[in-house]
A = this chain, B = another copy of it.
Amino acid sequence: MAGVAPRSASAGGRAVSYGALRGFCGEALIRAGMSSSDAETGADVLAMTDAWGVFTHGSKILQGNLLRLKGGGLRGGARPTLTAEGGAWAIVDGGSGLGMVTSAYAMEIAIAKARTQGIAYVGVRNSSHFGAAGYYAWLAAREGLVGISMANDVPTVAAPGSRGAIIGSNPIAFSVPVKGRRPLLLDMSIATVAGGKVYAARERGDAIPIGWVIDIDGKPSTDPSIFPALGTLTPAAGHKGYGLGLLIETLSGILTGAEFTSRIGSWMKDGPTAPTGHGGAFLAIDCAAMTPQADFETRMAQLVDEIHAAPRADGVDRLYVPGEMEWDRYERAMAVGIALPADVVASLAGAAAIVGLDIDRDLMERN
């Protein structure tokens, strides 16, 4: 999430409280057939993501999830199942339930196993778009562990030299507790920039910089409108992002028995009746098993302090560690509400209509 430009709170956004947004999303998910407990999990992921200012992955995706819950591509009554497990690992089958429910469950298993073994890996199959990877990493950091989360997705990113998409933008996130501070939190895709930035440039009518997208011949393009049908995202730092994407595919898709690369259903383009088969991987490391927790977190704080105190280039006010921008936005959101951008409000209105809610009555006027 670091580096993702937030929509400005002053850009005509409508402010809602975190609680109201969470309640609205939860009610919508219940009306689409989910249990109140699972709906609460899903709603918390979406509202927290918006509070971090990552609006591309927050409640904006509620509508698509409701359509899939209605269409059968997502099964509202599904429960994640531990299909196999060992000392420090497990494989979870999501049963085509909401990706957020499956993923939160998987990370909870990883945390519990890490507490006895020091580290744990939980792989997930039959999942779906899980929203912001950072949420699940943070679930671990919130409890004092190092969390790492990742997932595969339909191919939208090129390999060096390819003409089209080879791998998904395969998100990876990590979060680390820091003494007396907010946890480190990095959530990134392995593409140079997220597809959302290309869409935003298209909406604004702007050209994009060379290096973000290649055209159908594999050549660099400045035209955002070619993506995704006739254009492909480039991998971040070339072979490095591409290679990291393959590691994520290995741990999320190959090892788990999930679908991988082009076998994954498109959450956006395919119809709402078919499961997507996404995979994911969740790792937790229990620092307290290895070293006194306070020592670990104090050393983390020293690292952060060292960065904050380092000399800055002219015109740079502050050096950030990963997550600080998101936590700043979160604190503002908790103080004055989440200023939802217009596209999110429009999407929520659509979501409301699907399940017989009213965005004004059931969200905006609840603040």
Point out residues on A near B: beta carbons under 8 Å. Answer: 2-3, 84, 86-89, 91, 116-121, 123, 146, 148, 159-164, 166, 174, 176, 184, 186, 188, 192, 214, 217-219, 236-244, 246-247, 249-251, 254-255, 257, 260-262, 283, 285, 287, 289-291, 296, 299-300, 303, 306-307, 310-314, 316, 318-322
Q: Which residues of chain B come closer than 8 Å to A176, judged between CB atoms? A: 247, 250
- Residue of B with least CB distance to A161: B316
Q: Contact between A307 and B166 (Cβ–Cβ < 8 Å)?
A: yes
Q: Contact between A312 and B89 (Cβ–Cβ < 8 Å)?
A: no
Q: Contact between A291 and B257 (Cβ–Cβ < 8 Å)?
A: yes
Q: Which residues of chain B come closer than 8 Å to A117, judged between CB atoms? A: 86-89, 117
**Beyond A243-B322, A255-B291, 6 extra complex contacts between A and B, CB < 8 Å:** A84-B290, A87-B88, A161-B320, A164-B310, A214-B313, A218-B314
Q: Which residues of chain B come closer than 8 Å to A262, judged between CB atoms? A: 306
Would you mind naming 26 contact pairs between A and B with Cβ atoms under 8 Å apart? A2-B239, A3-B239, A84-B290, A86-B117, A86-B290, A87-B116, A89-B290, A117-B117, A119-B119, A121-B285, A146-B250, A148-B247, A160-B320, A162-B310, A164-B311, A166-B319, A184-B246, A186-B239, A188-B239, A217-B314, A236-B240, A239-B322, A246-B321, A249-B303, A254-B303, A262-B306
| Among A118, A160, A242: residue with most chain B CB under 10 A | A118
Q: Contact between B303 and A261 (Cβ–Cβ < 8 Å)?
A: yes
Q: Contact between B310 and A159 (Cβ–Cβ < 8 Å)?
A: yes
- Residue of B with least CB distance to A176: B250
Q: Contact between B312 and A162 (Cβ–Cβ < 8 Å)?
A: yes
Bound together, the chains give a CA A299 to CA B307 distance in angstroms of: 42
Q: Contact between B237 and A237 (Cβ–Cβ < 8 Å)?
A: yes
Copies held by the complex: 2
Q: Which residues of chain B come closer than 8 Å to A146, judged between CB atoms? A: 250-251, 255
Q: Which residues of chain B come closer than 8 Å to A163, judged between CB atoms? A: 310-313
Q: Contact between A89 and B313 (Cβ–Cβ < 8 Å)?
A: no
Bound together, the chains give a CA A148 to CA B243 distance in angstroms of: 13
Q: Contact between B240 and A300 (Cβ–Cβ < 8 Å)?
A: no
Bound together, the chains give a CA A283 to CA B87 distance in angstroms of: 15
Q: Provided the pairs A246-B321, A296-B255 are in contact, do residues A88 and B240 lie with their beta carbons within 8 angstroms? A: no
Q: Contact between B217 and A313 (Cβ–Cβ < 8 Å)?
A: yes
- Which of B3, B291, B299, B321 is within 8 Å of A238, CB to CB? B3
Q: Which residues of chain B come closer than 8 Å to A285, judged between CB atoms? A: 89, 121, 251, 255
Q: Which residues of chain B come closer than 8 Å to A291, judged between CB atoms? A: 91, 255, 257
Q: Provided the pairs A87-B118, A310-B166 are in contact, do residues A300 and B174 lie with their beta carbons within 8 angstroms? A: no
- Residue of B with least CB distance to A114: B88
